[in-house]
Structures are given as C-alpha cells and as structure tokens.
Amino acid sequence: MYIMALNITQGATGVNLVNLAAQNVGCLHDYTLTMADMKSLAKADVLIVNGLGMESFVEKVALSYGNLKIIQASNGISVLRDNYSGAPNPHLWLSLKKCIQQVRNIGKELSIIDTPNANIYIKNTNHYVSDLEKLEKKMKSGLSYSRGVKIITFHESFPYFAAEYGLIIAGVIEREPGSTPSPRELKYIIDVVRKSGVKLLFTEPQYPSFAADVIAKQTGASLYTLDPAVTGPLTKNAYIAIMEDNLTVLKKVFNARR
C-alpha cells in the first residue's frame, strides 16, 4: 500500500506519506497498533489500507479517529475465498491485474478527498498503471509454460498469483503466517507431495523455512523462494523489482522442467 501511495502522491503539494507498520512486520493479519502508530493516526487525514480483513485494527481505528478518511484499496475487486474458512483472501496485489485495480482505487479516492492535488494523483496513477501493465505483459510472456504446474506454497499469499498464471496450489505449508504446522499437518502435506508428485516448494523470505525444509527433505522436492512483496525498500520501483525477481526465479524453475 505504501509503494502504491508513494507513486500516486509524488509531487503532490502538502502531502506527508508515512508507512504505518515497521518494515519487519510482513502481512498485517494480527498486527497491533503501537503508540507511535496512534500518534501518526491522530495527525493523519487519510489512512490507506488493503482491506478484506488484512488490517484487523481498521474497525477500532474508524471508531477512535472519527475524522480520519479510510481508503480501502480492495473495494469493488472480485476475491478468492479460503477453502476452509470461506473468508476472502486479502492478498490481491500479487495479481498484477488486481494490483492495477487497487492503484486505480487509491488514486481515484485521493483525487476526491484532496481536490487541489487531483490532477497530480490522476496523472501519477496513469503513469504507474502503465508501468504495471508493462510488467503484467512481461510476467504473462515469461510464465507461458507455468499453466497446470502444481506447487506447494508457504502460506496463503499466492492464490491470486497462481490463478493469473495457471499454477495449481496443491498444498499450503503454514496456513497462518508465523504459525507452526502440527505434526499431523506436516504429515498431511508430505502425503500430498508424495501422492501428487509435486516437486516444487516455495517459501517466503519473511518467515523461517523450517517446515518447508522438513518437507523437502522427506519428499525430495526442490525448495525455492517467492517474495509476497510485504517487506523491502520504501522506493517507487520496489514492488516492480520484487515481482521481476519472482519472475526470474519461476522462469528458471519452469524452463528447467521443459
């Protein structure tokens, strides 16, 4: 959300952009606001969030800071639902198409809220969307051999990415970030890997890969890293750079299988 806002607000007069969560937090499923966060919110006019339950503190913020305008970047975007809980999966930005929709949502809302800077927001939004569309074409071309390939992922970050490029997620190692799979869950995933013949496991750099290491050792599967873009440099091109790195990893994996 910060990288999207950074691109959209560049050059806007009187805008002070603050990244609420610390860089080592990762996904904000269970994030608790700090005193520093609350001080920032008390001074803020707008809070930009992903929505769909990603930021569990939003309802409390809305009640505590009545004048704060909250932009939910996920508004109006079709979602995938968790097979177990039925809850919407919030990781929209890992689909380039949905990421573009989120950028458009933020740009539109900011142009309504801050009309003196509206033209800048619209111009910047269109420019960033153009860059993302170029990346989308690059990803689509580079992953043309991915359709139908089965993978195991670290947690529920990548369903939108998989759907966009025809990957099949055959199992999830840790359903909640930071959770440790029980021996029963580990055995289940090991059985899935063995029975399905899945040989591709993908961990995430934000979390320990102990469980994935165990599964790889038990099944002979290969272990790789995909970045869900929830940490990293606070620079305009950070998201694009991370997704290009993911593309490089996947191209090597899939080209080696051809």
Q: 3-state secondary structure string, 222-234?
A: EEEECCCCCCCCC
Whole-number pLDDT of residue 258: 60
Whole-number pLDDT of residue 176: 61
Q: What is the pLDDT of residues 200-258, one digit of tens each?
A: 999 888 876 788 888 889 999 999 999 999 988 999 999 999 999 999 999 999 876 66
Whole-number pLDDT of residue 162: 96
Whole-number pLDDT of residue 111: 98
Contact between 157 and 204 (Cβ < 8 Å): yes
Whole-number pLDDT of residue 23: 64
Rg (CA), the chain: 19
Whole-number pLDDT of residue 213: 87
Enumerate helices (H) and strands (E) in the chain, giving the number of each: 9, 6
Distance CA 140, CA 217 (A): 32
- Give the C-alpha distances (Å, rounded to integers) separating 34 from 21, 31, 41, 256: 9, 9, 11, 46
Q: Which domains are seen in the chain, by residue range?
A: 2-141 (3.40.50.1980), 143-257 (3.40.50.1980)
Whole-number pLDDT of residue 135: 98
Whole-number pLDDT of residue 257: 64
For the chain, which ranges sit under pLDDT 70?
22-27, 29-30, 174-180, 208, 256-258
